[in-house]
Structure 1
Amino acid sequence: MLIRGLNVLLATVSTPLAAPIVAGTRLRGGSAGSARGAASFVREQIGAARDAGAGATLIVRMDSAFYGAQVIAACREHDARFSVTAKLDPKVKEAIAAIAAIAEDAWTPIKYPRAIFDPQAGGWVSDAEVAETRYTAFTSKTGKAVTARLIVRRVKRLNPQAGRGQDELFASWRYYPIFTDSPYALLQAEEQHRDHAVQEQVNADLIDGPLAHLPSGSFAANAAWLTLAALTHNLPRATGCLTSAFHAKARGATLRRQLIAIPARIARHGRGHVVFHLPEHWPWRHAWTNVFAATHHPPPAHAA
C-alpha cells in the first residue's frame, strides 16, 4: 500500500475493546505490487502475535490485493485462519452466479447498527444479505489448491432515477465475495472481515501524526522513521487503554490533545521534587490521573 508516497506493508492487531495497534511494518523500494513479500511478512506477524502470548484463534484479514496462494499458505502453515476479499475473476463470478441462483430464503439479512460506506455505490448502506458456499481456489497452481468458505454479501443496487417515475422492475445487486476458513457463524465471520477496514483509520492516524513530514530522499531514513512512527502510534494507544474506555478507542489526535499536551504548570521544590499543577476544572483530569497512577509507584510513606 502507499502511505504518503511510501510503499509499505503494514500489519495491525485489533480487539473489540481497543483501537488497533501496529504489529509490524516493512518499507519496500520501487513500485512493488501490494502482494510482493506479503507471505513472509504474514509469517513474521503471526510469529510476533504468538510470541506476545496470543493463544486464541488468529484471523488474518486482508483485502483483495493479498488474495493469493502463497499468502494463504503462509497462514495455514502457522496455524492461523484467513479472511480475504476474493478477486472477481471468472471462477469467483461463476460461483457467485451459482449462489445468486439459489432460493431467496437461503440469503440471510444483515442489519448494520451504524451504516457502512459503499465506495462502489458511492453512498451509505444500512442493510444487506449474505450467503455462503464451498469454493476451491488456486486450482491452476500445482499443490496450492485451497478449499474453504466463499461468503458473499449482496447489496441492493438502487436506481437513481426511481424518484422520477423510473422505478425498478426487478432488484439488481452488487456482490462482495470473501474467501475464508473462519470457524465462526456466517454473520459473525462476515462482520469480522469488515473490521479489516480499521486499517484505513490507522493510515489516517499515521498521516495525521508521525508520517506528516515524509517521505524524505533517503530510503534508510524513511525506513527508520516508519519504525519510529509505529512506536509513537502504539504508545498513546497503550496509554489510552490505561486511561478510560473512551480513550481506549480514541483517535491519535484526541489522545495527543487530551493526554499528552498537558496544560500543566511545572514547579520545582527542593532538590528533585517536581510538582505538576493541573487546571482545577480540566475535563480529562481523572483520565490523566488514572494513567499516572497505573505507571508510577505511589510515593513512600513518611512518618508523622
Structure 2
Amino acid sequence: MGPPSTWTAPTSRCTGQEGRDRLQLQGRPAGRPHVATWAEAGVVTAADLLAGDEDPRPGAGSLIERSVATLNAAGVTARPKVRGDVGYFAKDIAQAAVEAGCDFSLGVTRNPAVWRAAAAIPDDAWRKAERMKGAQVAVCDYAPAGWPPATMTVVRRVKVHATDISADPRARRRRTIPKAQLTLALDGLVGHVYAYSFIATNLDVSTPAKTVAVEAWHRMRTDIEDRIRDAKHGAALRHLPSGSRAANTVWMWGALLAVNLSAWLQELAGLDDGDGRGRNHLGTLRHRLITVPARLVRHARQVTLRLPPRQQLLAQSWPGSPATHLDLTTRPIGHVPAHGDQRTRRHPGNRHAHPPKHPHHPSPITDA
C-alpha cells in the first residue's frame, strides 16, 4: 500500500428506533455515523455514532488521534495526511492533525475574504486540473486566522455555461459562483462563468505541479462515501435497531467490521491493488465470491473445484496451490468426463461407475 491518507468522515444519517437523542429524518429517527478511514486500504480506523443533529467537528480531533494510533499499531511509518470537506473547516481540527503528526487538507467555507483572494489570482497562474474536464487550479493569498503556520489555500475553478445554471435559487451550484458573475449569467450578458472551491492545506504547493497534485488528491476524499454506502446497503447500517445509542453503536461497528473484512479479503486475494479502484462492493463480493455454488471433485490424487460458468472472481482470487494440488476449473457442474476416462464414466455393467460412499473418502460435495 502507499502512504496512508487518513481519513475523513462524512456523517451519513441512518434511520433507527425512537430515542431521546434522535433527529427526525423524513418522519423517522436518525443516527449519524462519524467515520474515519485509511483511504488506500479502505479500512475504517475510528468511528463514533452521533445523534442526527449533532455537530461532528468537536469529535474530529479524537477521530484523528485514534486513527493515527491504529496506523502506528499496524506498523505504518509514513506521515499520515488528513483530508475532509468543508464541514470540517475549523482551526481546532487542523491543529489536532498537526499535533497528531499529520498533514491536512480541509475544505474552506466560502467567505468574503476568500472570494477577494480568488479574484486577485492572475490569469497566467491557473493550471489545468487532473482528471476533471474544464477545471483549473491555482494558489491564492488567503490564510485562515488562527490556523497552523504555513497554511495555504488552493483554489479550483470550473467553467460553467450560463445555460447550465439552474433557475432555482436553492441550487447548490449557484452558491459556488461569485454573485456578480452569477447576475451577469442569469441576465444573459455572459456565455459562461466559473464555479469555485477552496482547500486549506499545509502540504507542499510551492510549484504549479505540486498544487495540481494536491488538489487532485484532495478531490478523491469522496472515496469514503463509497465505504459508507457499502456499509449501509451491504452490511445493514442503513437501519439502526434500537432507541439505545449503546446498542446502535454495537450495530454500527458490526457493519463497519464487515466493510473492513471485505477490504482485507480483497487485498489478500489480489482483487484490489491497494488504491481502492478495483474493490468490489459487499453485495457484489457476496454474490460473486462468497456464495458461489461449486463442487469439489477428487480425481487422480488431485482436488478440483468446479465452478459454474462465468464465475471468474473466485478463480481470479484463488489461482491454486501446488502444495495441496488444488486446481480450479470453470467447467459446468455435472460435466461429463472425456471419452477416454473409463473410471468415472457411466457404462453398462460397470459396477463402480459411482464409487461407494466411505467415511474416509467422501463423495464429491457441493460447497456454497
Work out whether the TM-score is over 0.5: yes
1:2 is paired with a residue whose SS is coil
1:89-140 CA-to-partner distances (Å, cap 9, x unmatched) read: 23222322222xx2x111101252xx5xxxxxxxxxx22111003432134x
Distance 2:164 2:120 in 1: 29
Q: Which residue of 1 aligns with 2:136?
A: 129
State the superposition RMSD in angstroms. Answer: 2.9
1:1-304 correspondence runs (5 A):
1-4=11-14, 5-15=30-40, 20-29=42-51, 31-99=53-121, 102=122, 104-112=123-131, 126-139=133-146, 146-160=149-163, 169=190, 171-183=192-204, 185-212=210-237, 214-217=239-242, 218-245=244-271, 248-265=278-295, 277-279=305-307, 281=309, 282-290=311-319, 298-299=323-324
Aligned length: 265
Gap runs ≥5 in structure 1 = 116-125, 269-274
Q: How far does residue 150 in structure 1 lie from its aligned partner after superposition? A: 0.5
8 Å contact from structure 1 (residues 134, 147) kept in 2 = no
Residues 152-197 of structure 1 show CA distances to partners (whole Å, capped at 9, x for unaligned) of 00011211179xxx97646421110011111361111001100101
Q: Is the 8 A contact 2:31 2:52 kept in 1?
A: no
Deviation at 1:279, TM superposition (A): 2.0
Contact 2:138 2:156 in 1 (8 A): yes
Conserved in 2, the CA contact under 8 Å of 1:109 and 1:130?
Answer: yes
The question of whether the paired residues in 2 share the 8 Å contact of 1:155 and 1:173 is answered with: yes
Q: How far 1:266 moved relative to its partner?
A: 7.0
CA distance in 2: counterparts of 1:203 and 1:52, whole angstroms: 22
Q: CA deviation at 1:263?
A: 1.1
Q: CA distance change for structure 1 residues 161 and 10 in 2, over 3 Å: closer, same or farther?
A: closer
- Percent sequence identity over matched residues? 25
1:111–1:127 Cα contact (<8 Å) kept: no
Gapped regions of structure 2 (runs ≥ 5): 1-10, 15-29, 166-186, 326-368
Contact 1:9 1:26 in 2 (8 A): yes
Compare the two structures and name the one with the higher strand fraction: 1
The alpha-carbon deviation at position 145 of structure 1 amounts to: 5.5
Q: TM-score, normalised by structure 2?
A: 0.64
Q: Which structure: larger Rg? A: 2
Report the structure, 1 or 2, having the larger helix content: 1
Asked whether the 8 Å contact 2:271–2:317 carries over to 1, the reply is no
